[in-house]
Amino acid sequence: MTKVNTDSKKVKYSLEFEIKSSPKILYNYLSNASGLEEWFADKVNVRNGDLIFIWEGSEQRAKIVAKKDNQMIRFKWLDDDSQDETYFQFEIIQDEITSDVALIVTDFSEPDEKEEDILLWNSQIHNLMHHIGS
């Protein structure tokens, strides 16, 4: 039997990626089921306003808890039973001078899973960049 440490707090981290895309196009890949399905999950369904992400047959349900069109979207995993105020968020920043676009991913991980989670995000965002043509 595996004992779960319920005392551990998840740690927040942010990753920044340069994306060669307009904020509007990028936001579409981050904020709707069909866009997320292209790079983030095998399948994404919308049910009662929640997004159902499916990977290799297993499902995870998330709710959009905050958004600003073409700038930011924040999701909360509904099956996350931690007491922390955790979420994952995509934020799009465009440099006013150079017009360069950056995507900032903010997420939370168990301390001993953080490195693995960062590798997964790097892989996922690389996949997103491939679909955008960035």
Structural domain range at position 41: 11-132
Contacts of 91 (CB under 8 A, 6+ apart): 71, 72, 103, 104, 106
83 within domain boundaries = yes
Q: What is the CATH number for 126?
A: 3.30.530.20
Whether 3 has a pLDDT exceeding 70, the answer reads no
Among 101, 105, 110, which Cα is nearest to 123's?
A: 105
Please report which confidence band the pLDDT of residue 85 belongs to, taking 50, 70 and 90 as the band edges: confident
49 within domain boundaries = yes
Q: What is the pLDDT of residues 23-39, one digit of tens each?
A: 999 999 999 999 999 99
**Per-residue model confidence (pLDDT) at position 57:** 86
Among 6, 7, 9, 27, which Cα is nearest to 101's?
A: 27
For the chain, what is the domain count?
1
Q: What is the pLDDT of residues 51-78, one digit of tens each?
A: 999 999 899 999 999 999 999 999 999 9
**Per-residue model confidence (pLDDT) at position 84:** 64
With contact defined as beta carbons under 8 Å apart, do 26 and 38 qualify?
no
126 within domain boundaries = yes
DSSP 6-74: TTPPPEEEEEEEEE-S-HHHHHHHHHSHHHHHHHT-SEEEEETTEEEEEETTEEEEEEEEEEETTTEEE
Q: Percent of the chain having pLDDT more than 90? A: 83
